[in-house]
Amino acid sequence: MCKSSLEYPSAGEARNNSRGGQPSSTLHKGQTYGEAMAVEEEGLRVFQSVKIKIGEAKNIPPYPGPNRMRDCYCTVNLDQEEVFRTKIVEKSLCPFYGEDFYCEIPRSFRHLSFYIFDRDVFRRDSSIGKVAVKKEDLQKYHGKDTWFQLQPVSADSEVQGKVHLELRLSEVITDSGVISHKLATRVLECQGLPIVNGQCDPYAAVSLLGPSRSEAKKTKVKRKTNNPQYEEIFYFEVTRPLSYTKRQFDVEEEDVDKLALRVDLWNASNLKFGDEFLGGVRVPLRVLGQAGVHDAWYFLQPRENGGKSVKVEDLGSLRLNIVYTEDHVFPSEHYSPLRDLLLQSANAEPVSASTAHILGEVCREKQEAAIPLVRLFLHYGKIVPFISAIAHAEINRTQDPNTIFRGNSLTSKCIDETMKLAGMHYLQVTLKPIIDEICTEHKSCEVDPVKLKESENLETNRENLLQYVDRIFNVITTSGVRCPTVMCDIFFSLRESAATRFQVDQDVRYTAVSSFIFLRFFAPAILSPNLFHLRPHHPDPATSRTLTLISKTIQTLGSLAKSKSANFKESYMAAFYDYFNEQKYADAVKNFLDLISTSGKWDQKSIETPIMLKEGFMIKRAQGRNRFGMKNFKKRWFRLTNHEFTYHKTKGEGALCSIPIENILAVERLEEESFKMKNMFQVIQPERALYIQANNCVEARDWIDILTKVSQCNRKRLSTYHPSAYLNGHWLCCKLSADTAPGCSPCTGGLPANIQLDVDGDRETERIYSLFSTYMTKLIKMQEACGSKSVYDGPEQEEYSTFVIDDPQETYKTLKQIISAVQTLEQQHTKYKRDKFKKTKIGSQEHPIGDKSFQCYIRQQSENTTYSI
């Protein structure tokens, strides 16, 4: 199985679909919503996800004009569908992006592609180059910073989709009695063709290629669809040096090798530049074999001479870090032994002998272990006792209260991850409004005299910075009532353990908590708001500098250090901090820390402030409040809060329509055939359904997920719905004429109401299994450490010194159980892979023939023929 990325930020702001030239802002008619996020395979669920760090580009070719600089941005594409776009970096040939993107991939794909675009003065964005990584090659670059050479972007190379062909070679007796041999080529259908300039009107050109021939025939044009159904047959006479009087059908191998069938897909364009190439496939006639029949699906390929005559090194390069993950999740009962071991970790004595603690010991990075452990324990309601146990053990090993939780231990990483998951909405309601204001106002806050620009005034900048710090400090220290319960319970445990361990130090009960809530939660969120989903992109350099100065000050204010000015290496920061040397700031911090470290259950519903959950442009169909008139499609700005779902003519304007959350009865996909449009879903209300088209499949899934989650507890939620639209007086799905007819399909539903903790326990256990499997050699070495006499009696051997082993016998017993559970799951995975390999039929709709799988297909056909004989 593939390595797990084990990082779960939200998909971010998915945007436009593009295919060279200027990216469009929406997807278009004829496109379908992607496959389900988890694909079922005989009881096994398969999840795909990708985490990408888009670093920087270098050596971009200069603009051919007096101003040689470019304004570049980068897009992330699944095949030709854009799912993410970075900010624009202006006036640079070596743009630095520094952006992260994560998404669950809801459909199959062939390439993960990255395009560099230049926004020019005419607002016509032109593509500079691309990086396209085949799905099967993604593991080569797993988790590595890699420089990729940009490749030319040409229409002939931008292909996707597949075609279904049937070839049959037969004898035909003519009217004159002569036997001729003809090739019948049946073009059945295509799937997933690319959209070109907002349209797809495809047709197929079929040619028989040989040393002295090139016959071409065409299918009919299929309008407004990228999944055309053709069902057309073409006949080609096959010429060969055999006697035509020979009664027995035979084909000489050397003759067949000279012939091939070529099928090219084209988009019938109304533009003067001619039709656009969509992809093609070349089929050597030797695939017919002895039977003379060939029926298979093929991946469309680019034209061999399709690339532009540009030197690759002239286009520059792009630095990426790609982590692609496939999780193969078995039914829940397969994980019972390992899951039970993990969930017993909080009660293990000592906790260092627990399964969860051992995972942290063997992983190369504590973060690898912390992410799935936290999600699993949150899912089963065990996170507070587990973190309390490992934190108590770490505090007891700490000698100096000033170094408490300073290292990157399993405890600190688990608390970090818990705050990210449980505290995301807390950050949104606390920091987002002021962060948005800072990023839009662009006030100068530079207080370093060396970096001050000529037009800036130091005192004015100090005043700007002072106001921002004061406001952020106030919103933080007055937000204690909103702190999530699970965080309060963890902070209460930290406070009690630290106060018991270091009874002389009166401030340790505060510093134990502030080291997380200020240093690891609020300060990083201010410094990098894009990583905490407070902003869609990394701020511009000037704003980033302002946020850095604010973050430093807030971090110091929260630390309650004895001499705060001494905490700053820079003299200008020490001078600025003198403004905050008042007791009221320390008192406010202590009151805040006291409040959030008191174990108690806060009522989250008492928060009346609307929390913005998601917003962005989409296309909606008129809801038809009037019974007459054309119900057209319009682009609108949609906004979802925990109170209502609204749409506006544009961002910032008043709402044209407001749907209270309690009026959302269901949120489901809408079948493509309803409007011949891709990525559509419906928000079902008591009186009508609102039909919406998202920009791409990732964004459609994100909207469906969050709308479903936020409305999950509505009392009147539907159990059935209509998967197709109500048009022309009837439902397209069940043909019932009454617009109030009950639904004909069960609602998908089943999602938890808590937006934060949407966790699949079996998937997290599978990822933990994957980690244990990856680090099996360390598990065995840890067993050896437990059995070594040096662990029992004398000083540890150097190779074992990295392990924390408080009780060798208990640790050895747990290790033995872990290895047994992991080996059992390993056998399940091996059996699954073996069975899947046996059942894989190359050339089927699920496994089309590609440029690398043709020989495998020939070999598979040969083996099947041998078996049949």
DSSP per-residue codes, 447-472? --GGG--TT--HHHHHHHHHHHHHHH
Residue (of 328, 336, 326, 325) closest to 824 by Cα position: 336
| Residue found under tokens 């879903």 | 681
With both helix axes pointing from N to C terminus, report the angle between 366-379 and 355-362 in degrees, rounded to the nearest 10: 160
Which tops the pLDDT comparison, 241 or 89? 89
pLDDT of 713 > 90? The answer is: no
With both helix axes pointing from N to C terminus, report the angle between 410-422 and 424-441 in degrees, rounded to the nearest 10: 70
Which tops the pLDDT comparison, 198 or 362? 362
Per CATH, the number for 39-152+317-325 is 2.60.40.150
Query: Residue 464 — φ and ψ, nearest 5°?
Result: -60, -45
Comparing 162-242+254-299 with 411-591, is the CATH topology the same? no
**Res 22: pLDDT:** 36
pLDDT of 605 > 60? The answer is: no
**Res 712: pLDDT:** 73
Residue (of 46, 15, 142) closest to 832 by Cα position: 46
* Topology (CATH level 3) of domain 162-242+254-299: Immunoglobulin-like (2.60.40)
**Res 271: pLDDT:** 65
Tell me what the mean pLDDT of segment 122-142 comes to.
87
Q: 741: how many CB neighbours lie within 10 A of its CB?
A: 14
Tell me what the mean pLDDT of segment 139-163 comes to.
87
> In sequence order, what are the residues at sequence separation of 6 or more whose Cβ sits closer than 8 angstroms to the Cβ of residue 146?
319, 320, 321, 322
The answer to whether residues 336 and 149 touch, using CB atoms and an 8 Å cutoff, is no
Q: 65: how many CB neighbours lie within 10 A of its CB?
A: 9
Residue (of 742, 748, 743, 704) closest to 722 by Cα position: 743
Residue (of 248, 185, 226) closest to 17 by Cα position: 226
| Residue found under tokens 């300039």 | 197
Tell me what the mean pLDDT of segment 401-407 comes to.
81
434 DSSP 8-state letter:
H
pLDDT band per the 50, 70, 90 thresholds, residue 8: very low
**Res 579: pLDDT:** 84
- Which has the minimum average pLDDT: 205-214, 322-331, 521-530? 205-214
| CA gap 112, 318 in Å, rounded | 14
- The domain locations on the chain are 39-152+317-325, 162-242+254-299, 330-381+761-791+802-868, 411-591, 612-623+630-712+714-746
| CA gap 538, 393 in Å, rounded | 38
Architecture of the 411-591 domain: Orthogonal Bundle (1.10)
**Res 406: pLDDT:** 78
Query: Residue 233 — φ and ψ, nearest 5°?
Result: -115, 135
pLDDT band per the 50, 70, 90 thresholds, residue 239: low
DSSP string covering 521-549: IIHHHHH-GGGGTSSSSPPPHHHHHHHHH
pLDDT of 339 > 80? The answer is: yes
pLDDT band per the 50, 70, 90 thresholds, residue 507: confident
| Residue found under tokens 């899951």 | 339
Identity of the residue numbered 500? T
**Res 705: pLDDT:** 81
Tell me what the mean pLDDT of segment 458-482 comes to.
91
Which tops the pLDDT comparison, 611 or 705? 705
Most confident region among 22-31, 311-320, 397-406, 685-694 by mean pLDDT: 685-694
- Segment 96-105, tens digit of pLDDT: 998 889 888 9
Q: What does each C-alpha distance from 535 to 7, 181, 290 come to in angstroms?
A: 19, 67, 63
Bridge partner residues of 53 (DSSP):
100, 321
Question: What is the value of pTM for the model shown?
Answer: 0.74
Chain centroid offset of residue 139 CA: 16
Tell me what the mean pLDDT of segment 518-537 comes to.
91
Per CATH, the number for 612-623+630-712+714-746 is 2.30.29.30
Residue (of 155, 146, 128, 132) closest to 314 by Cα position: 128
Pairing label, strands 745-746, 633-641: unpaired
Rg (alpha carbons) of the chain, rounded to whole number:
31
| CA gap 574, 556 in Å, rounded | 11
Percent of the chain with pLDDT over 90: 42
**Res 14: pLDDT:** 31
Tell me what the mean pLDDT of segment 726-736 comes to.
89
pLDDT of 33 > 80? The answer is: no
| CA gap 626, 630 in Å, rounded | 10
The beta-carbon contacts of 616-620 under 8 Å, at least 24 apart in sequence, are 616/13, 616/695, 616/699, 617/25, 617/26, 617/695, 618/26, 618/692, 618/693, 618/694, 618/695, 618/703, 619/26, 619/692, 619/693, 620/647, 620/690, 620/691, 620/692, 620/693
Which tops the pLDDT comparison, 799 or 698? 698
Percent of the chain with pLDDT over 70: 81
Bridge partner residues of 202 (DSSP):
267
- Which has the minimum average pLDDT: 104-118, 257-271, 376-390, 687-701? 257-271
Task: Cis check for the bond before 350: say yes or no (omega within 30 of 0).
Answer: yes
Tell me what the mean pLDDT of segment 378-396 comes to.
92
- Which has the minimum average pLDDT: 220-234, 292-306, 375-389, 497-511? 292-306
For the chain, what is the mean pLDDT? 82
| CA gap 823, 780 in Å, rounded | 13
Q: Work out whether the CA dihedral 563, 568, 572, 577 comes out positive or negative.
A: negative
| CA gap 54, 728 in Å, rounded | 48
| CA gap 248, 327 in Å, rounded | 53
Half-sphere exposure of 410 (CA within 13 A, CB side): 29
Which tops the pLDDT comparison, 644 or 289? 644
| CA gap 163, 227 in Å, rounded | 10
**Res 333: pLDDT:** 93
**Res 859: pLDDT:** 63
Identity of the residue numbered 256? V
| CA gap 582, 562 in Å, rounded | 13
**Res 212: pLDDT:** 62
pLDDT of 738 > 70? The answer is: yes
Tell me what the mean pLDDT of segment 349-369 comes to.
93
| Residue found under tokens 């995301």 | 424
pLDDT of 55 > 70? The answer is: yes
Identity of the residue numbered 484? P
The answer to whether residues 499 and 509 touch, using CB atoms and an 8 Å cutoff, is yes
**Distance between first and last Cα of the chain:** 36
